[in-house]
Every structure is written in C-alpha cells, then in structure tokens.
Structure 1
Amino acid sequence: MSIDTVLVTHDKLDVLMPLVVEQQQDFGKKVDLAMTRAFFEGIVDRGPTFQIVAMEEGVAVGLVMVDPIPNFQFADNVAYVHDVYVTETHRGARGIGAYLMAAAFVEAMRRGYEFAEGETHPDNSPARKLYDRMAQKLGIGIKVIDSVRYLIDLRPGIDRARNEPEYLDRLASPRLFGRQTARTGADA
C-alpha cells in the first residue's frame, strides 16, 4: 500500500476531519466537531498557511500544518512546521511523519519561503537525527537553535472569567506587571 501526500483544499475537509478529531482526542481535548470544522474552513486555501495530509487508500493517516511566523532577524516570514500527526496504527517504521515533514518543506520552498522552523525537545535525539537526515536528503541547510517554546494554557483563566466578569480587566491592568505589584504580590 502506498502513501501519498496531498495539499488540503476545501474538498478534502471531509477526509481530514476524522484525523483531526483523533489528534485532538489523543491530546485530551474535548472535541467540538462543528467548531473544529469551522476552524479548518477558515484556514484551508488561505494565503501562506497550508496543510498537507498523508493518504492511504483514500483515508487520511497523517497531517502536518504550516503557518508563517514573523521573524525580525530575517525580516521575513518563516514557515513554521507544526502539528505533525500520524494515526497510531501508522506510526513507526513506515516513515510517514518524515514524509509529511519533507512534503511541508518542499511546499514551503515552492511558496517562496526562504526559511522553515520546526522544533523538538532537545533530548529527542531520534527527531534531531531525522531533521539532520531530511536536510541532507533534501539538500537544504539546517541550524540548531537552542530555544524553549511555551504553550500557555489559557483555559483556567477563561473558566475564572466566566465566574468573575471583571477578572480579565484586572489582568489587563499595567499595574499587575509593575515592579511595585511584584514586590507586594499580584493577584494570581
């Protein structure tokens, strides 16, 4: 059975949705299918953002998303390759994740991106070796940049704001982050 990669368009959303739902469930997210579909309807075929799926016999078995991120160092947008996901039954030796990432880098080059960014945990040596191997096979450069990327979970604040309507206004106050507030204790 062969795996093909396909650029996601609006006519592929029905194929994509079961994969996205699986991914969200794997990460413990309660899935709202209507909201998820509306999200993808809003980003598919829109400007520099793109998504690629790995297909096997008409079924999506993997996904990668690419968004532009502003980079002041290069004074341009950089293609940020993220959310590489392969269904559990297709993970492992088949190399679908690598195939998706390569397809994302190739499409980014087609779209004129001069740089792409991907990331992994510094201790993830298999992923780091994969990046190095892919760069060599694709004939592109790679530079390791030590950084930490944060995913901030805003849900506790949203939940609190539902019960305390003034909560977000208090958080938006410049005083919250002033030195005086830091010494005397901020509303946490």
Structure 2
Amino acid sequence: MAHEIRMAGDDDFFGWLPLFAAYCEFYETELDDARALIVWNWIRDENDPLEAALAVDDEGTPVGLAQFRVVPDTLRATRGVFLGDLYVNEQARGGGVGRALIEFVHTRSLEVGSGGVSWITAADNADARRLYDTLARRTDWVMYEMGA
C-alpha cells in the first residue's frame, strides 16, 4: 500500500487526533481535549515553530505522524530540525511509513539549514530503535530534564 507524506492541513484535525492520542497513550501520558487543542493550534499557527507531517493511505486516512520544529544549531551556526514526536498506527507498521516520515523531515531540515535531524526515544523502545539504527547515528549525549 502506497502512502503519501504531506504537511498537516487545517482540515486534518480529526485524522491527526487519533494518531496523537495513541502516541500519548504509548508514552503513558494523558491527553484531554484541552491539551489536544493546544497542540493542534501550535501546529496550525504559522508563528509557532511546531510543524506536523502526516502519512496518508490510499483512502486519504492519516496512518502516521511526525511533529517537529526547526532549531538553531549554534555549534555549526546553522539550523536543523528536532523530531519531537513520531507515531505510526499498528496496522501500518512495517510498511515503511516511519522511515518515509523521517526522510520527509530530513528533507525539511535541508530546506532550512545543514543541521540535519535529531530526536530521542525511550531506551526500551526496541521496535523504533531498530528503524532508527538504520537511518541515523546514535549519539553519546545524555539527556536531562528539570520539571516545573
């Protein structure tokens, strides 16, 4: 089955929402209506850095999403892209959708600079890491978080 990768448009909310909800569930994060609308409004706001691409099947149904933002790469004085969220519904997995979404984001990174694409994933996300290991170099960087 072929998939088109394209930027999310104004009419994609109800196709995007189940994918984002499943992504949140995978990472054990509650998604309520208010949070979903905030994130969607960020995506649709041309002044907000968050962008979203969708993988759409032959019937026009979104089956995967990539949410990303352009970020400065100060060490190289260029811009790159940080891929914050990637999700493919279970029925579409194994068909190249995740790879196509990442490659789409990589193409976007080349449009904005030469910083490439970076992302993080959970250490136990073995299925995703198998794909990531074929596309990119795993770094030695250690991530820290400081809560509110």
Greater helix content: 1
TM over 0.5: yes
Q: 1:75: which partner in 2?
A: 77
Alignment of 1:5-154 (within 5 A): 5-47=5-47, 48-56=49-57, 57-91=59-93, 93-110=94-111, 112-116=112-116, 117-119=118-120, 126-132=130-136, 145-152=139-146, 154=147
The separation in 2 between residues aligned to 1:29 and 1:129, in whole angstroms, is 26
Q: Which has the higher contact order (CA 8 A, sep 6+)?
A: 2
- TM-score by length of structure 2 reads 0.78
| Count of aligned pairs | 141
The separation in 1 between residues aligned to 2:13 and 2:84, in whole angstroms, is 19
Long gaps (5+) in structure 1: 133-142, 158-188
- Alpha-carbon deviations, 1:34-64, whole Å to 9, x = none? 3212222123252554211111122211111
Long gaps (5+) in structure 2: none
Structure with higher Rg: it is: 1
- TM-score by length of structure 1 reads 0.63
Report how far residue 12 of structure 1 moved. Answer: 1.7
Please tell me the residue identity of whatever aligns with 2:108: E
Fraction of identical pairs, as percent: 21
The 8 Å contact of residues 62 and 86 in structure 1, kept in 2 or not, is answered as: yes
The 8 Å contact of residues 85 and 97 in structure 1, kept in 2 or not, is answered as: yes
Q: 1:140: which partner in 2?
A: none
Q: SS of the counterpart of 2:81?
A: strand
Q: Once superposed, which parts of structure 1, at least 4 consecutive aligned residues long, lie more than 6 Å away?
A: none
Please tell me the residue identity of whatever aligns with 1:89: Q
